[in-house]
Amino acid sequence: MEITLKSNRFRLEREADWKRLESLLDRFEKGQSSSLADDEVIAIPVLYRATLSSLSMARAISLDKSLVEYLESLSTRAYFCVYGTRTTVFEWFEQFFAREWRQAVQALWRETIVSAALTLLGAVVAFLLMQQSSEWFASFVPEGLAGGRGPGASFKDLHDTIYGVHAVDGLTVFSTFLFTHNAQIALLAFALGFACCLPTAFLMIYNGLMLGAFFALFAHQGLGIEFIGWAMIHGVTELIAVTLAGAAGFRIGWTLAFPGERNRLEALTEAGRLAAIVMAGVVVMLAVAGLLEGFGRQLIESTLWRYAIAIVTAIFWGVYFYRPQAPR
């Protein structure tokens, strides 16, 4: 009898909060979370903690079993609402590509400008040096990456590189190799940012040096315009991806050196989360670039179509990343 009275009194004092939490959870579990008002969303974790406290007290004073089981069930439901998985895999992908990736890239706009400027600087320097002496080519482009394309190559050799016939069966292997190579460059640009940005800056310049050296090589044989179309059919996507990876590295390195008013650990945690989102998207871009390089560039031999694809991809990525987003 005494336990029953305690249980009734305990329930009367707290039941209103339990019922409110139960009502909110019912709406959430039925997919009506969008109809919850701001104060109702804020109330759920508060009511959850209060229910946990009630459950702890109910167990401590040995109230009736049915009340304890009810509070256990309510607490479990509230836990999954507050801490559990709230979206399906498809919803997560939709949220990532529709908002999170774009917002992360936009947040790194300063670092992206620096990364792109260093790449352009390297390309211009290499081009100017190559005008003075073709011997600079070996300093900028490793022999294995050159693939026989060097100052000694004839017009026919370079022309066949751009318009030569390629075996379709070998394109899959080639595409896989290029994707792996480009992914390594992007990951290095990101990872080396931890060393106060300097190695990442050097890598961005060095990538530009290689690009400028190749352009100067082909331009010397009167194939500059054709080379740009040949390279940019995949290069637009690839260069943007590597530039974003460099920007993510710069954000990490700059935050490590200058955390601002926050302590270094908190600042790095936030910067790391932002950079990780960008890098997840970079992997997707590199996959697209690998397909374009391994298949599209080899199968499409019209310079006009190559330029068209390059322009379309540039517009697509520019609009995708930087068009204004409606507030939510």
26-45 residue pLDDT tens: 888 777 776 778 788 888 88
Non-local CB neighbours of 51 within 8 Å, separated by 6+ positions = 17, 18, 21, 71, 74, 75, 78
pLDDT of residue 81: 80
In this structure, of 181-185, 276-280, 318-322, the range with the lowest mean pLDDT score is 181-185
Question: How much is the average pLDDT of 148-163?
Answer: 81
Give the residue-averaged pLDDT of 124-151. 85
Q: How far is CA 158 from CA 131, 162, 223, 227, 232, in A?
A: 18, 7, 8, 9, 16
Listed as own residue / partner, the contacts of 221-224 with beta carbons closer than 8 Å and 24 or more positions apart are: 221/155, 221/158, 221/159, 222/155, 223/155, 223/158, 223/159, 223/162
Q: What distance in Å separates the CA atoms of residue 303 and residue 318, rounded to the nearest whole number?
A: 22
Alpha-carbon distance of 191 to 252, in angstroms, equals: 9
User: Is 154 or 36 the better-scoring residue by pLDDT?
Assistant: 154
Q: What is the pLDDT of residue 85?
A: 55
pLDDT at 70 over 90: no
Give 6's pLDDT tier (boundaries 50, 70, 90).
low
- The answer to whether 126 touches 212, Cβ cutoff 8 Å, is yes
239-277 confidence digits (pLDDT tens): 999 999 999 999 999 999 888 887 888 888 889 999 999
Question: What's the rounded mean pLDDT across residues 284-291?
Answer: 88
Mean pLDDT for all residues in the chain: 84
Torsion of CA 110, 115, 116, 120, to 10 degrees: 140
How is residue 84 annotated by DSSP?
S
Whether the per-residue pLDDT at 54 is higher than 60: the answer is: yes
DSSP class of residue 262?
S
pLDDT tens digits, 98-112: 889 999 999 999 999
Q: Is 204 exposed, middle or buried (0-12, 13-18, 19+ CB in 10 A)?
A: buried
196: left (phi over 0), alpha (psi -120 to 50) or beta: left
Across the range 120-130, mean pLDDT stands at 96
- pLDDT at position 200 over 90: yes
Ordered by start, the domain boundaries in the chain are: 2-86, 91-322
pLDDT at 169: 46
Contact 138, 150 (CB under 8 A): yes
Q: pTM surpassing 0.85?
A: no
Q: How far is CA 230 from CA 131, 215, 312, in A?
A: 22, 11, 15
Q: Which of 163, 133, 164 is nearest to 151 (CA)?
A: 133
CA 214 to chain centre: 29
Let me know the angle formed at the C-alpha of 231 by 205 and 276, rounded to the nearest 5 degrees. 55
Neighbours of 209 (CB within 10 A): 24
pLDDT for 176 beyond 60: no
Q: What is the pLDDT of residue 7?
A: 65
Give the pLDDT band (50/70/90) at residue 180. Answer: low
Give the per-residue pLDDT at 326. Answer: 57
